[in-house]
Amino acid sequence: EIIAHHHSPGIIKTNNFKILSDADWLVNIADEIDTSDKAKVKKIIDKVFLTATGKEMAEKIYLS
């Protein structure tokens, strides 16, 4: 169920799903947006990441 819905946040609200969703975004964000636009990256991070750790990791990777 988690795998089937990992591109549909909000359907499943378990911690495992949140972690999987964040991991998916961490590795694929550069395919979705221009990561040189730091303001846009910050907005996406704030909007799509579901855990504090995921947000922190994304900021370290893409905003540092």
Low-confidence ranges of the chain (pLDDT < 70): 1-12
pLDDT score for 29: 95
pTM to 2 decimals? 0.80
pLDDT at 41: 97
pLDDT computed for residue 23 by the predictor: 94
Would you state the pLDDT for residue 16? 85
- In one-letter notation, the amino acid at residue 35 is T
Burial 5-27 (b: 16+ CB within 10 A, else e): eeeebeebeeeebbebbbeebbe
* pLDDT score at 58: 98
Give CA 52 to chain center in angstroms. Answer: 11
Distance CA 51, CA 44 (A): 13
Q: What is the CA radius of gyration of the chain?
A: 12
